Structure formats: structure tokens, C-alpha cells
Structure 1
Amino acid sequence: MPCTAAKVLEIIDSEGHATQSDIRNKTSIPPRTVKYAIKLLREGGMIKEIPDWKDMRKRIYVVQHHRQTA
């Protein structure tokens, strides 16, 4: 995982949820890089996207926790 994707995942996990603009405001990561990191994390099943019911143009990202079976 690229270090920018790891940083984005860390922010989403620590905040509980985040939008792309939240992530950009908390880091110096360029917008295109944030978007790419989110794409990688979504494709890897590490985060999921949910709609922002206050503003349907925005998406909220949350960490996808998987249950582990022993």
C-alpha cells in the first residue's frame, strides 16, 4: 500500500469517517492523490463509501471492519 493511502486510511480510522475535503484539510496531500488513495482503499475493501445525506454531492468514507473467524 502506498504511504499516502496508509495516511488516508489512518485519518479515516482515527476520525471515524471523513470526506475527501476533510482529508485534504488535515494533510498536504494533493486532491488527485487523495482521490487515488481512496480508490485503492475502496478496491481493496479497506474502506466503504456512504452518501452524505446533508449534501448528496459529497461522499463519506469509513473503515470497513471485517469479522475474523478463528
Structure 2
Amino acid sequence: MRDFLVNVSRYPTYFISIGLGVFLNAVRPLIPLFKKPTTAIALTGIFVAGLVFLSLTLRAMLGLSPA
């Protein structure tokens, strides 16, 4: 039983390391684009627009009232 609990306690570490690996591999190609002001502004705008779109879509799907 002790071995089982030790193995289960390792899963959060695996989850965090996999999540960080996916995030870093997704962001790494975008880093050089932030060195030019024009592309940095465009990428920032795309990122903000994506978050707003996601937020509005989830609110509509869940029937939440705008607060």
C-alpha cells in the first residue's frame, strides 16, 4: 500500500512537467517575433482577442450574465 501512495504522489509532478513542456514548446517559436515592435503588438493583440473570444464564448455557453 505504501508503494501505491508513493506512486500516486508522483503524478502531480508528472502533470506539471508535461504541462510546462507543452507550454514552452508552444511559446518558443513566438519569442523571436516579440523582438520587432510591429509583430509584438500584433501578437499581443491576437492573444488578447483570443482570451476575450474564449471568455465571451464560455459565458454564452454557460448562460452566465455579464458582470
For the criterion TM > 0.5, the same-fold answer is no
Task: Tell me the TM-score normalized by structure 2.
Answer: 0.30
Query: Radius of gyration: which is bigger?
Result: 2
Point out the structure with the larger strand share.
Answer: 1
